[in-house]
């Protein structure tokens, strides 16, 4: 049994055969391209970190979900479940010398020991984009637009996903108006976070310890807040509350920031995929302002409940780790649900993994000439293949065809004697002999235009 287990990746881990690896790399490539277009700079962090780095941020509860152990030097260590604490360490340690805002991205493997289910593996890859050092809504907008860009670049659109934009601050202001602050307010947010997935009675049951016989009316109010889809409605909602002067002023300021954020997002052209939706509060305790999640839409236009991306503002983390104050906002986007979505929409191409050129070689003498050319062509960036042992011409032509190469170069006894190479277009069968010294030029032309079916009048193709 152990023997069999040895021959499988561990549960929740993946082997990437070339076809699958090419698809994964396609996702990495387009993520990288998009993050760079927003001028994010790439960084990377260790796979293994001190356990305390994670418990300091997320509490001891997280240990249950970690691959953690004691190393041979007696250190408590863990495979990173996320990048943010390590990132905060890097940023924090250079907080005084980094030019603000700092815009950094990374694509890395994260690990969680958790129950396996569709879209949840124990190892997955995540794109992280974060902006540090800018407290204003411009940074929130930048991060949201980057997340949207990282989906649109694959051909996904508002028909496929929606960005649900929420605000922990407005929630806290609303809860303050209901007399809930501090731990009580956090407890309510914990219920709000689960509301979508729980039956109404269960929600009431959770609210009763906090609101007593007002649980029902609080729930109604919360649901009307969650149902809001425009800034005007949001303003009306808060106008309808009886707010103390100071709180009213705070709320007005916040609504002003909402207005400004929406202006930025309109400029960035992402309002058509955006939905104001206070139903999002984000589970993690460290978010401090605007938060958002990107959800998949089903064919019926309704949300499927599968999140593609989540993020928001976390202004206190760097300081909490003991470094200078450094406001921050960022998002993470995983490869697993995105791959599933792209596959289902036919947006993840099959990659043709093939050399560009296949050499068909007569014998040992011809091989020396052929290998020399192979190295010349490789230095120019061509991918060149040939049989690694002696084979008949017939077998080699079969291999050349199977390889997927565009051209075969034929090094027969005759060709080599005349310092020529015969180039065959493996799609059309068209052939042309080329003097060896002109091979590079000729191939450049053939890749662009194919081998001409007829030679120009009076031309001697062997001298081309």
Binding to a copy of itself (CB under 8 A) within 17-46 occurs at 17-18, 21-22, 24-25, 33-34, 36-39, 41-46
- Using an 8 Å Cβ cutoff, are 132 and 118 in contact? no
Q: Which of 56, 221, 223, 436 binds a copy of itself (CB under 8 A)?
A: 56
Can you tell me which of 31, 58, 82, 86 binds a copy of itself, judged by CB under 8 A?
86
d(CA 245, CA 251): 10
CB-neighbour burial class of residue 265 (10 A; exposed 0-12, middle 13-18, buried 19+): buried
Which range in 162-170, 385-393, 428-436, 452-460 contacts a copy of itself by CB under 8 A?
A: 385-393
Residue 2 within binding range of a copy of itself, rule CB under 8 A: yes
* Smallest gap from residue 296 Cβ to a copy of itself (A): 23
Task: Determine, following the binding rule CB under 8 A, whether residue 402 of this chain makes contact with a copy of itself.
Answer: yes
- Cα 373 to chain centroid distance, Å, stands at 40
Nearer Cβ to a copy of itself, position 323 or 438?
323
β-partners of residue 349 are: none
Decide: is 136 part of the binding site for a copy of itself (CB under 8 A).
yes
Determine, following the binding rule CB under 8 A, whether residue 311 of this chain makes contact with a copy of itself.
Answer: no
Contacting residue, 120, 226, 241, 355, with a copy of itself by CB under 8 A:
355
Q: Could you say whether residue 335 binds a copy of itself (CB under 8 A)? A: no
Maximum Cα–Cα distance for the chain, whole Å?
Answer: 100
Considering the complex, what minimum distance in angstroms separates the CB of residue 132 from a copy of itself?
11
Q: Are 133 and 214 in contact (CB under 8 A)?
A: no
d(CA 420, CA 435): 4
Q: In sequence order, what are the beta bridge partners of 359?
A: 409
Tell me which of 1, 74, 118, 389 binds a copy of itself, using CB under 8 A.
389
**The CA-based dihedral angle spanning residues 222, 224, 226, 231, taken in that order and rounded to the nearest 10 degrees:** -120
Of 27, 30, 149, 170, the residue at the interface with a copy of itself (CB under 8 A) is 149
Measured from the CB atom, the residue of 111 and 331 that comes closer to a copy of itself is 111
Pair of tokens at residue 185: 């307010």
**Is 74 an interacting residue with respect to a copy of itself (CB under 8 A)?**
no
Q: Which is nearer to a copy of itself, 83 or 451 (CB)?
A: 83
Span interacting with a copy of itself, options 191-199, 241-249, 263-271, 310-318, rule CB under 8 A: 263-271
- The number of residues that bind a copy of itself (CB under 8 A) is 100
- Which value, to the nearest 10 degrees, does the dihedral of the CA atoms of residues 59, 61, 62, 67 take? 130
Q: Least distance (Å) from a copy of itself to the CB of residue 58?
A: 13
Residues 6 or more apart from 93 whose CB is under 8 A from it?
323
x/- map, 232-251, a copy of itself, by CB under 8 A: --------------------
Q: Cα(329)–Cα(135) distance, rounded to whole angstroms?
A: 8
Q: Which two tokens stand for residue 344?
A: 């289902």
Segment (H or E) for 343: helix 335-344
48 forms part of the interface with a copy of itself (CB under 8 A): yes
Residue (30 or 215) nearer to a copy of itself, CB: 30
**Using CB under 8 A, which of 29, 194, 200, 378 touches a copy of itself?**
378
- The answer to whether 333 and 303 have CB atoms below 8 angstroms apart is no
């Amino acid at each position: 049994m152990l023997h069999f287990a040895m021959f499988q990746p561990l549960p929740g881990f993946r082997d990437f055969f070339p076809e699958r690896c090419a698809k994964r790399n396609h996702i990495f490539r387009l993520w990288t391209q998009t993050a760079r277009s927003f001028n994010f700079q790439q960084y990377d962090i260790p796979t293994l970190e001190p356990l305390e780095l994670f418990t300091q941020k997320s509490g001891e509860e997280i240990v249950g979900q970690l691959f953690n152990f004691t190393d041979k030097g007696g250190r408590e260590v863990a495979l990173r479940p996320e990048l943010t604490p390590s990132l905060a360490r890097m940023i924090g340690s250079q907080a005084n010398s980094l030019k603000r805002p700092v815009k950094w991205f990374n694509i890395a493997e994260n690990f969680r020991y958790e129950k396996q289910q569709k879209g949840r593996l124990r190892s997955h890859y995540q794109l992280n984009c974060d902006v540090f050092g800018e407290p204003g809504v411009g940074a929130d907008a930048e991060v949201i637009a980057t997340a949207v860009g990282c989906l649109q670049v694959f051909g996904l659109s508002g028909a496929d996903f929606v960005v649900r934009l929420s605000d922990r601050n407005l929630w806290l202001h609303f809860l303050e108006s209901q007399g809930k602050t501090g731990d009580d307010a956090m407890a309510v947010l914990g219920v709000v976070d689960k509301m979508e997935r729980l039956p109404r009675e269960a929600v009431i049951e959770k609210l009763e310890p906090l609101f007593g016989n007002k649980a029902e009316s609080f729930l109604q109010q919360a649901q009307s807040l969650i149902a809001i889809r425009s800034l005007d409605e949001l303003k009306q909602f808060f106008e309808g509350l009886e707010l103390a002067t100071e709180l009213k002023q705070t709320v007005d300021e916040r609504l002003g920031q909402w207005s400004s954020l929406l202006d930025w997002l309109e400029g960035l052209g992402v309002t058509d995929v955006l939905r104001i939706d206070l139903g999002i509060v984000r589970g993690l305790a460290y978010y401090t302002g605007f938060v958002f999640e990107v959800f998949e839409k089903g064919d019926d236009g309704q949300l499927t409940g599968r999140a593609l991306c989540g993020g928001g503002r976390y202004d206190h983390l760097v300081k909490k780790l003991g470094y200078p104050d450094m406001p921050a906002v960022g998002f993470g986007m995983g490869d697993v649900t995105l791959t599933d979505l792209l596959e289902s929409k036919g947006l993840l191409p099959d990659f043709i993994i093939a050399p560009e050129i296949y050499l068909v070689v007569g014998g040992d003498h011809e091989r020396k000439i052929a290998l020399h050319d192979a190295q010349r062509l490789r230095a120019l960036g061509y991918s060149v293949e040939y049989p690694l042992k002696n084979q008949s011409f017939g077998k080699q032509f079969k291999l050349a065809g199977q390889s997927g190469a565009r051209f075969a170069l034929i090094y027969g006894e005759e060709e080599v004697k005349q310092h020529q190479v015969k180039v065959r277009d493996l799609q059309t069968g068209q052939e042309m002999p080329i003097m060896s010294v002109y091979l590079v030029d000729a191939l450049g032309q053939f890749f662009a235009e194919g081998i001409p079916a007829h030679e120009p009048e009076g031309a001697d193709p062997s001298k081309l």
